[in-house]
């Protein structure tokens, strides 16, 4: 209970200070805060603590395109699980999700591209600033 209360207080403080993306709703998984980003966060700078987790969720790429693995500094971020849901007949065009944890404080650009047989386009880019939860500074 104490940990959940502290995580909730940290979220309120971060949201008040503008550290979390607007519209971002943190969830708690296994006692960890998960900050979720969507296409609406494209182009933003996201400040996050190294004890939190990050989830990026994007709708399916345009017809004829597919997403490549995200590009980022792998000394700062670690890609965990990925998922892809298929389109349904009810208008859901499918969703792709990437889950990240952090190795250390620092700053990295996270880019997701989509490719076709003849083209590559950048569809998502955010700057991630990871700060130590124990008071250390980012590098």
Higher pLDDT: 85 or 21? It is 85
Which architecture characterizes domain 2-131 according to CATH? Answer: Sandwich (2.60)
Burial class (CB in 10 A: 0-12, 13-18, 19+), 45: middle
* Lookup: tokens for 116: 């076709």
Higher pLDDT, 2 or 66: 66
Provide the pLDDT for residue 25. Answer: 55
Name the one residue in this structure whose structure tokens are 């296409």. Answer: 39
- Give me the pLDDT at residue 10, please: 39
Q: What are the sequence ranges of the domains in the chain?
A: 2-131
Strands 66-67 and 106-115: what pairing?
antiparallel
Total-model pTM: 0.73
CA-based nearest residue to 71, from 105, 103, 130, 113: 113
Burial 56-84 (b: 16+ CB within 10 A, else e): bebebbeeebebeebebeeebbeeeeeee
Q: What is the DSSP string of 68-133?
A: PPPB--TTTEEEEEEEEE---TTS---EEEEEEEESSSEEEEEEEEEE-SS-EEEEEEEEEEEE-T
Summarised one tens digit per residue, pLDDT across range 61-70 is: 877 888 999 9
CA dihedral sign, ordered 57, 59, 39, 72: positive
């Amino acid at each position: 209970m104490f940990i959940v209360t502290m995580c909730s207080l940290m979220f309120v403080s971060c949201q008040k200070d503008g550290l979390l993306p607007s519209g971002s709703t943190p969830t708690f998984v296994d006692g960890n805060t998960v900050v979720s980003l969507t296409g609406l966060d494209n182009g933003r700078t996201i400040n996050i603590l190294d004890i939190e987790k990050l989830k990026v969720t994007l709708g399916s790429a345009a017809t004829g395109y597919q997403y490549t693995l995200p590009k980022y500094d792998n000394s700062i971020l670690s890609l965990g699980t990925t998922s892809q849901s298929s389109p349904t007949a009810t208008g859901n065009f499918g969703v792709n999700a990437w889950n990240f944890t952090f190795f250390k404080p620092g700053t990295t650009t996270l880019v997701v591209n989509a490719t076709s047989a003849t083209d590559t386009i950048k569809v998502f880019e955010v700057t991630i600033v990871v700060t130590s939860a124990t008071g250390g500074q980012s590098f």
